[in-house]
Amino acid sequence: MKQDDLYDVVIIGGGPAGLAAGLYLARARYRTLILEQADFGGQVTITAEVVNYPGVARTDGRQLTETMRQQAQDFGAEFMSAEATGVDVDGDIKTVHTTRGELRTFGVLIATGASPRKLGFAGEEEYAGRGVAYCATCDGEFFTGREVLVVGGGFAAAEESVFLTKYASKVTLLVREDDFTCDGAVAAEAKSNPNIEIRYNTELLGVSAGQGGLVEARIKDNKAGREYTWEPADKGTFGVFVFAGYVPQTGLVRGVVELDKRGYVVTHGDLETSVPGVYAAGDLRVKNLRQVITATADGAVAAVELERYASDMSKKTGLVPPRPTDTPYEQKEEAAAKSAASAGTSPAPAAPRDQGGQTRTSGFFNDAIRKQLNVVFSKMAQPLTLELTLDSTKLSTELEGFVGELVSLSDGKLSSQVVDRSDIEYDPSAGLPLARPYVELCRRGDDDRLDRTGMGFHGVPSGHEFNSFVLALYNAAGPGQTLDRATEERIGSIAEPTDVMLLVSLTCTMCPTTVLSSQRIAAGNPNVRAQAYDVSRFPELKDRYNVMSVPCIVINRGGDQTVEFGKKSVPEMLDLIGA
């Protein structure tokens, strides 16, 4: 095989464990690829406040893991957004199968983490996204002024209960045991909060809904041995947030490495699994404590062992993957050294940075984002026009400024124009209502005619939706994100006009995946239109579809309408569309 196609290590999973391992490996000059099917950063990205990570006084999960990702990238780690579909571990060179092709590597690190556990109470599946939620950061705002039930007795339940008091009029916390199972300091904050009522030895049996949402719950007091009906004091609707632990995401390696009876990966002294050259790190392995700090520690330990393994395999096979050179980190160090040498002083202080660690500039985009945009613009195969439909609101002014700056940075790859569509009224009942302000991605044909793609955003695509918007530009202009042949054929098979309305929140970390998946499909088939709506800006849509969780997906096809909730990959969106 060609050693240019070979990696020292492929890391499956882009959470704290995978990012820490990638940082260590790349810094040691080993060719490393971090593979992630969803959002780099893992479960901690939905945590609103992190105060117990050493050396960082206060941050949120998104900022913390974005810093980790940037560090790994600066040292030369490579990243790929794709789903791992299988692992062949026999022999000196292992193969990781993905939706974007096969990856050859000496070593593999499994760091796929864990996902929220569902409890199975009556109505949990039926009302998921319609009153039952698993992410306080994503969905807390939908219950502003209402009561909520929180189910769980661990770290997440205690911390997120306190967070939910920012929105809810009252939080009732149902703890199955006679006390919390987490650290006392974490539990103390929930116990002392006047807006939180804690019921111990209690479990949720089921929920039922009425007009507008959940209206009552069946609860069991295990200590007293009685069941009773609970409803909010105002007799209105309420929400349920479930924080009952996690399920290890180990289906990929079931039958490949040893798992315990609960499905967690069994690791040995230095985090090696039952298969030589395959390591595991983070929340998917058997361990006593699952926190960001233990995940990053796992990643560092596994990385050091994988360095040795990859080195041994290079000596054994005579193959040496192309290692990182001239990395951003090295370039910065060299520039600082030259500056110091020419000035005869120590390096100049760094430019001012914002709370996220990014260099501050004027306008909408900082220097780091501008560099990333330059990479995307340089790869676009054809120019695009961003068509703006505006009104007289401040939000329209903001969108116009946002698009204007984006166009100015694109080196001619983007242009914009404002169109007058005053003849079209805002109708929330329409399949894709024209909610202003709106930006739509358009291509120009050979005759210079503007061709609307049906891909766009209603509101301003900032926050977590910025990345999905930029990738939509890349997918619309081509060549676009790579898909396997089977998926491309499924997209091409959609012959019936299909509208996908995506109701999102800019604070939701799960929404961008669903928006990106839908618009990737629309980019590949003109019969599909996919548009995102900032639901906080258009309350009529939130009320019409009773949105209590995002993303909310409304599909109109052939006169039939389907409403679904949750993060969806491209194959999952195709399943919903019926392709």
CA distance linking residue 569 with residue 554, whole number of Å: 16
- Closest listed residue to residue 565, CA positions, set 555, 575, 576, 550: 550
- Looking at 8, 39, 139, 298, which residue is catalytic? 139
CA atoms within 13 A on the CB side of 355: 6
Q: Confirm whether 135 is a catalytic residue.
A: yes
Find out whether 17 and 11 touch, Cβ atoms under 8 Å: no
Residue pair 574/562 in contact (Cβ under 8 Å)? The answer is no
508 is catalytic: no
Q: Hey, how many other C-beta atoms are within 10 angstroms of the C-beta on 351? A: 11
d(CA 265, CA 281): 9
- Distance between CA 366 and CA 37 in Å, rounded? 27
CA atoms within 13 A on the CB side of 290: 24
H or E element in which residue 440 lies = strand 438-444
CA-CA distances (angstroms) from residue 37 to 34, 60, 68, 291, 565? 10, 22, 18, 21, 18
CB 152 within 8 A of CB 244: yes
Which H helix or E strand runs over 452? strand 450-458
Q: Give the active site residue among 8, 39, 138, 499.
A: 138
> Kind of pairing, strands 6-12 and 101-110?
parallel
Token duo for residue 158 = 């205690």
Rounded CA separation 225/202 (Å): 10
Active site residue 560: no
CB-based contacts of 355: which residues, under 8 Å, 6+ apart?
59, 63
Minimal CA–CA distance to 28: which of 335, 419, 305? 305
In terms of phi and psi (left: phi > 0; alpha: psi -120 to 50; beta: otherwise), the region of 170 is: beta
C-alpha neighbours within 13 Å on the C-beta side of residue 349: 3
Give bridge partners of residue 552 from the DSSP assignment.
503, 565
**Catalytic residue annotation:** 135, 138-139
